[in-house]
């Protein structure tokens, strides 16, 4: 699998933003911070986050969105598989008192006490996951979440297949099958809802979001 670790700032922002901000995304920090803050505002509203909540952000990246999310909740735990992202995020959020950072392994495993979190959010994470990863992440969510806690994720909307994106990702997969977890992965909503149900989660909201589909689940008591 492609490494998410680098000491090079240019490479770090390429990993984060891809080609969305041109060939040198590290030169557009103000725009990136603005866009991530606006996205965080949307996430807080769509995920129903509140001031008294303890929240887990899965795939927190470099912390641009995390700053705003932390301001909207009681406590925020940011998790990522990339120590490079986390290192940058710790500096970015050094003045934020109610935030913590945690390194994840490649396998879906969350090392938190049972019934810790009121909500989980994972933006642009499950768009890369296959159904087996999704199965194990929901199993982990069930362990660390409170009864009636909610999970907000997005998946690639299988009702909107963009040929260019499929071909691009198929070519990358053919060149390097170990890169699978970094590629886009289309899943059906029916399959994801079924698998989430194995761990006691039911779908409470769905909303198309461009080529993605935003999904919100509740853990049943």
Antiparallel, parallel or unpaired: β 201-209 and 212-219: antiparallel
| Rounded average pLDDT over 74-84 | 96
Distance of CA 217 to the CA centre of its chain: 15
Could you give the CA distance from residue 121 to residue 119 in angstroms, rounded to a whole number? 7
Tell me the CATH number for domain 9-219. 3.40.50.150
Structure token pair of residue 79: 């998790």
Could you give the CA distance from residue 90 to residue 99 in angstroms, rounded to a whole number? 9
CB 124 within 8 A of CB 93: no
For residue range 94-117, list pLDDT tens digits in order. Answer: 999 999 999 998 778 899 999 999
For residue range 182-208, list pLDDT tens digits in order. Answer: 788 999 999 999 999 999 999 999 999
pLDDT given at position 32: 94
Q: Pick the closest to residue 180 from 3, 1, 15 (CA basis).
A: 1
Average pLDDT taken over every residue of the chain: 93
| Rounded average pLDDT over 129-133 | 93
Is the predicted pLDDT of residue 126 greater than 50, yes or no?
yes
pTM for the complete prediction? 0.92
Could you give the CA distance from residue 149 to residue 141 in angstroms, rounded to a whole number? 9
Q: Pick the closest to residue 115 from 93, 150, 140, 143 (CA basis).
A: 143
Structure token pair of residue 15: 């990993």
Structure token pair of residue 65: 């969105």
Distance of CA 73 to the CA centre of its chain: 17
CB 54 within 8 A of CB 73: yes
Structure token pair of residue 70: 């932390």
Could you give the CA distance from residue 83 to residue 35 in angstroms, rounded to a whole number? 23
Is the predicted pLDDT of residue 1 greater than 60, yes or no?
no
Other Cβ atoms closer than 10 A to 94: 9
């Amino acid at each position: 699998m492609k490494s998410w670790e680098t000491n090079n700032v240019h490479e770090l922002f390429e990993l984060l933003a891809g080609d969305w901000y041109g060939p040198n995304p590290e030169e557009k920090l103000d725009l990136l911070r603005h866009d991530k803050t606006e996205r965080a505002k949307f996430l807080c509203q769509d995920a129903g986050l509140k001031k008294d909540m303890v929240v887990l952000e899965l795939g927190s990246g470099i912390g641009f969105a995390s700053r705003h999310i932390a301001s909207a909740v009681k406590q925020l735990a940011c998790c990522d598989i990339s120590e490079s992202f986390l290192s940058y995020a710790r500096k970015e959020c050094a003045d934020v008192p109610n935030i913590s950072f945690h390194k994840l392994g490649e396998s879906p495993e969350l090392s938190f006490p049972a019934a810790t979190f009121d909500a989980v959010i994972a933006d642009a994470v499950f768009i890369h996951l296959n159904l087996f990863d999704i199965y194990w992440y929901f199993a982990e969510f069930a362990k660390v979440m409170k009864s009636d806690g909610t999970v907000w994720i997005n998946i690639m909307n299988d009702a909107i297949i963009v040929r260019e994106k499929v071909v691009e990702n198929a070519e990358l997969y053919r060149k390097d099958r170990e890169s699978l977890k970094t590629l886009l992965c289309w899943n059906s909503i029916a399959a994801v809802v079924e698998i989430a149900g194995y761990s006691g989660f039911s779908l409470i909201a769905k909303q198309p979001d461009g080529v993605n589909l935003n999904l919100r689940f509740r853990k049943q008591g």
